[in-house]
Amino acid sequence: MSNSTLEGGAAASTSAATPASTTVMSMQQALNRALDEVLAENPRTLIFGEDCGRLGGVFRITDGLQAKHGAQRVFDTPLAESGILGMSVGLAMAGFHPIPEVQFDGFAYPAVNQIVCQMARMNYRSRGTMPMPITLRVPSFGGIRAPEHHGESLEALFAHVPGLKVVSPSNPHEAYHLLKYAATRPDPVIFMEPKSRYWQKDDVDLAHCDANDDGASPTGAKVQREGRHLTLVAWGAMVARCLQVAGLAAEDGIDIEVLDLRWLKPIDAEALAASVRKTRRAVVVHEAPLTSGLGAEVAQLITQSCFDTLKAPVERVTGFDVPYPSGDLEDEYIPNIDRILFGIQRVLEYKRG
């Protein structure tokens, strides 16, 4: 692929007649609207976290919600993540639907004991008498040139824990519908928001939620771009990057399918297999370090279901096995266009020895 190909390009447009229910908004606005509607629909919903009340959150996701719904339902907490999650468990036991926020992904570490030992286990421990309808919002991943502990990828940590569900939206439409759905679940959901995409604007169809067969829930993976030569599997902020890569590859006649995993626990193994059976090649892209990253689980699911049809081993393009670097080095750490294209090239050129 030429240097000029690597420097430009964009994702294919998704045009068609715009539905009357569609509006353009940023991911920040989509999340804010979803929270506003959840508060209006369920009087037992509570939103809280560091600066979530009067300020509206460091990323303004909860902007205006306290003024509209009151300080008893949208409120600030002390700087104590273990306390925030411990309180969430107690509120859920009392019949509330808490939506706590940890201000940055790395700030979730002090609350791991509450998340893993209490939030994830209480329903099991109580034999189903104490469901945990907690949606933990976690501004996640890198891309904003922040200092240490402000750009982490914790999906593999949480996906490994029985009792937790994990989801990460890739665009404003997904953010709106996935958050609304997560907030109605009886199970604890870790909602990982790609903070580098908060200001991305796109169409949001407020009426259409990509319902599954039972007509109720936006679950499972979603093909964001159809293709036939290779499947790129990603989630969160990396979906947009993979769409950009697919657009560039198309200039060289390579037709890439982009599968947005969306739910990282449980993983939609059927959609994953269906895409890779069609293209017969796969590259998994994520920001987290390579070793024991969620890409390893995805690669195993692909291999298990598609072994007889794969033309090449599943490739992973990821972050490196080092702590997330400072902002001036994150462009080297996060999978960039060149690294993803090279991964595609290795898979396409693979020949069995």
Host domain of residue 331 = 220-348
Alpha carbon distance 206, 217 (integer Å): 14
Are the beta carbons of 169 and 139 closer than 8 angstroms?
Answer: no
Task: Look at residues 171, 205, 239 and tell me which one is the last residue of a structural domain.
Answer: 205
161 and 295 in a common domain: no
253 and 185 in a common domain: no
The structural domain count of the chain equals 2
Are the beta carbons of 83 and 98 closer than 8 angstroms?
Answer: no
- Residue at 311 is within a domain: yes
- Residue at 315 is within a domain: yes
CATH of the domain at 134: 3.40.50.970
248 and 198 in a common domain: no
pLDDT at residue number 21? 82
108 and 246 in a common domain: no
Alpha carbon distance 282, 313 (integer Å): 8
Alpha carbon distance 219, 93 (integer Å): 26
272 and 167 in a common domain: no
Are the beta carbons of 312 and 350 closer than 8 angstroms?
Answer: yes
246 and 99 in a common domain: no
Catalytic residues: 150
Task: Look at residues 205, 235, 254 and tell me which one is the last residue of a structural domain.
Answer: 205
Nearest to 1 by CA among 317, 344, 256, 282: 344
pLDDT at residue number 18? 55
Task: Look at residues 173, 205, 237 and tell me which one is the last residue of a structural domain.
Answer: 205
The pLDDT tens digits of the residues spanning 293-315 come to: 999 999 999 999 999 999 999 99
Are the beta carbons of 66 and 49 closer than 8 angstroms?
Answer: no
Position of tokens 């400072």? 326
The structure's pTM equals 0.91
pLDDT at residue number 353? 63
The SS3 of residue 219 is: coil
- Residue at 4 is within a domain: no
191 and 117 in a common domain: yes
- Residue at 55 is within a domain: yes
- Residue at 15 is within a domain: no
Query: In this structure, what token pair is assigned to residue 291?
Result: 């070793």
Are the beta carbons of 192 and 154 closer than 8 angstroms?
Answer: yes
DSSP-assigned states of every residue in 284-326: EEEEEESTT-HHHHHHHHHHHHHTTT-SSPPEEEEE-SSPPPP
- Residue at 275 is within a domain: yes
196 and 162 in a common domain: yes
- Residue at 2 is within a domain: no
The pLDDT tens digits of the residues spanning 257-274 come to: 999 999 999 999 999 999
CATH of the domain at 286: 3.40.50.920
109 and 168 in a common domain: yes
Residues in the chain predicted with pLDDT less than 50, given as ranges, are 1-16, 211-217
227 and 195 in a common domain: no
199 and 111 in a common domain: yes
